[in-house]
Structures are given as C-alpha cells and as structure tokens.
A and B are shown apart, each in its own frame.
Chain A
Amino acid sequence: MFLLPEAMERVWLMRARGMREVEIARELGVSRQAVNKALRDARVKLFEAFFGLAEVFSWEIARINAEKGFMVARGRCLGRSVRVYAFYIPGKGLRAFFEGDFPDYVLRHAVELGIIDEPDREKLIRALEG
C-alpha cells in the first residue's frame, strides 16, 4: 500500500490545508528549506503513485493535483466509459471511486483540505472536474 512517510505526510497535509511554508516551518520547528524539500518530494511521490495507479488499471488521466492529492481519470467498467476519482487519504493511502460514489470520510477529507466548503457530493464532483 502506498503511503507517504509520516513526517512528509504531516508537512504535505498542513500545506494542503492552506498553511504557508513559513507557518509550517515555525510550527514544526524546522527550516523553511526543509519544508520546501519535503513538499517537493511529497508531490513527486504523489504524482508517481497516481500515474502508477492509472497505468495499472489503464485509466486515461484527465487531471492530477498533487497539492490537494487527487486524480480525475476516465476508465472502462463493464464495457462503458466511467469517470474515476482517486484521492490520497492521509494514513489510509490511495482510494479510488467510480462516478462520484464517495463515502462520507472522503467528503469530510475534501472539506478539511478546502477542496469544497461543505460535504456535498455534487459540489465535490464540480470542484474536481474544475
């Protein structure tokens, strides 16, 4: 199962919640350069994980956002084209959902990261589709 290293994940999550690098550095008691390096590395790892996931299932990528940790892709299921939404959930790893069939914890996660302002399925789909 793909998971970011714990310290890297904490930095990535704080940034995804909207904190600035200097604020993260102050809160964790590390240098801003260390935070910047951790964020860069986290983004590369997330891109790698999402590309890998799409490759395994032959999904066609439409959008990968490593800052908020999600991917939008198109796949095939039972012979028809379906929209796939994948998220990196801290502590859980990658989770993918077909046609916006999101469980509550994904909606809460999206609100926490500021992707949407309230836990609403339609709003989340609109936000992901950009």
Chain B
Amino acid sequence: MPLRMIDHPVMLLPFILLAVSFVLGGDVGWALMALAFWLVVYISLTGDARIERGRIVVRIGRPVPLARKEVPLDEVVEVIKLPSASGIRLIEQFQRPWVPLGSFATGIFIGILFLYRGEFYGVLWIYVSILSLLNFLFRPSEKRNRVLASLIVSLASALALLYLGYLEFVLVIALYGFFDAIFVNENGQDAVIIRTERERIVLLGESTSTESFIEEIKSLLAGGSNVPAP
C-alpha cells in the first residue's frame, strides 16, 4: 500500500456525509450513506505520495484526486523516517490530530444513533471508525497488539451482526478483519514525516513504500542541485 496522508481535512468528508445522511433519512439519506461508504474505501485505497518534478506531491484519491498537496523539495526543512521499530505513537505526530479523531468520533456517534433508531448498519460504521483509528493509535512497534485489536474489533462486530441476524454482513466483516490482520501482520507500518517551515506532513505506509520514497528524495537531491552562492 502506498504512502498516505491521514490528517488532511478531506478525510472527514465521508463522515460528514454520514452525519448528513442520518439527519436526512429516506432515499437521499441512503444515497449519501452509500456515497460516504464508497468514499471511505476510495480514500483508504487510492491515496499516495510521490516525487514529481522536484516536488513532493500528495494526492488523496486516484485517478480523481479529492485533494492534492505539493511541496517543493527546497521548502523541506526536515525529513524523519519512523521505521516499525520506532516507539512513537503516530497520533502525537499529526499536525491536525482533530481530523482522524473527528472522523472516529463522528463515525461512532452516528453509528450509535443509527443503532438507537433500530438500523443495523450502525454496527458497520462503528466498525469502520474503530478500524481506521487503529492504524495510528498504536506505536508501529506494537504490531502484535494492533493485530490483536483488529481481531477483537472484527469479532465483536461480527457477533453483534450475528445477534441482529444479518449473516451476510458477518461474512463481510470476517473477511475484512481477516485481510486487515494479515496485512498488518505481514507488512507492518512505517511513517515518513516531512516538515516545512509552515507545516508537518505525516505519511503512513508499508516499509517498502517508505524506503522507495526516501530513495526518490535521495536520488533527486544527490542528482546535483549545483546551487550557486547568493
């Protein structure tokens, strides 16, 4: 999975749509909720960060980017690579921690309200919200705990859906939880922090992605800037 930016405000969009869908209800509410769910999947699978034309280009969503951020390399003040051995809790590194925490809080709150209204898919939203929080709540070194947490959350959600009598969704959760646990266990998670004078960009991804990203920066800079004196 490529490097992804987690604390961009656009990450809140699906959860805002979810809240609107709850308020509106009816067919429009259903359509908005479907759109919100599609956005969660689209954002989580298609964001990336690359080096293009001497700039760090961060996209959220591909091929149609919902957000795009460009940072010229000469604006970069600091580059930090946090391998999976690092003991830093990633949530502390975000410039805008209110984005992932806001997504989580909205997802949980609306999910509970859906359940209170007697609609089973509240469980799905609570599940999605918790799972999205797990990636940066744990330290990268706590891989085993992260896998365990994923399994527990998936099991609890599956049991809740089983209790409510939605067997087909139990299978969806079981499969999703299984793949999430396998992915985390095999790939772990690294982070690259890019700091400019104005902001800090935290990118999360698997080890190979962070390695190749750093290599790209390195090869670009080592290519020779031949900067003259002022």
Contact = CB atoms under 8 A, between A and B. Distances in A.
Interface of A: 5-8, 11, 30, 34, 37-38, 40-41, 43-45, 47-48, 51-52, 55, 61-67, 130
17 contacts: A5-B229, A7-B229, A8-B227, A8-B229, A8-B230, A37-B230, A40-B75, A41-B74, A44-B73, A47-B76, A48-B225, A51-B217, A51-B218, A61-B214, A62-B81, A66-B77, A67-B78
Nearest to B193: A63
For the side of the interface on B, what is the size category?
Answer: 20 to 34
Interface of B: 73-83, 214, 217-218, 221-222, 224-225, 227-230
A8 to B, nearest CB: 5
Contacts, number: 69
A51 B224 CA distance: 12
Specify which of B74, B76, B81 lies most central, judged by the most chain A CB atoms within 10 Å of its CB. Answer: B74
A44 B77 CA distance: 9
Contacts of A34: 230
Q: Is the interface of B mostly helix, strand, loop or mixed?
A: mixed
B56 to A, nearest CB: 12
Nearest to B225: A44
Q: Main SS of the interface on chain A?
A: helix
A47 B77 CA distance: 9
A130 B81 CA distance: 12
B218 A55 contact: yes
Contact of B227 (A44, A55, A63, A130): A44
A62 B227 contact: no
B83, B214, B221, most chain A CB atoms within 10 A: B221
A75 B74 CA distance: 27
Given A41-B230, A45-B225, A61 B81 contact: yes
A66 B79 CA distance: 9
Contacts of B80: 62-64, 130
Contact of B230 (A7, A61, A63, A64): A7
B39 to A, nearest CB: 34
A41 B214 contact: no
Contact of B77 (A30, A62, A67): A67
A44 B74 contact: yes
Contact of B79 (A6, A8, A52, A63): A63
A48 B222 contact: yes
A63 B81 contact: yes
A64 B194 CA distance: 10
Given A44-B225, A45-B225, A48-B222, A65 B77 contact: yes
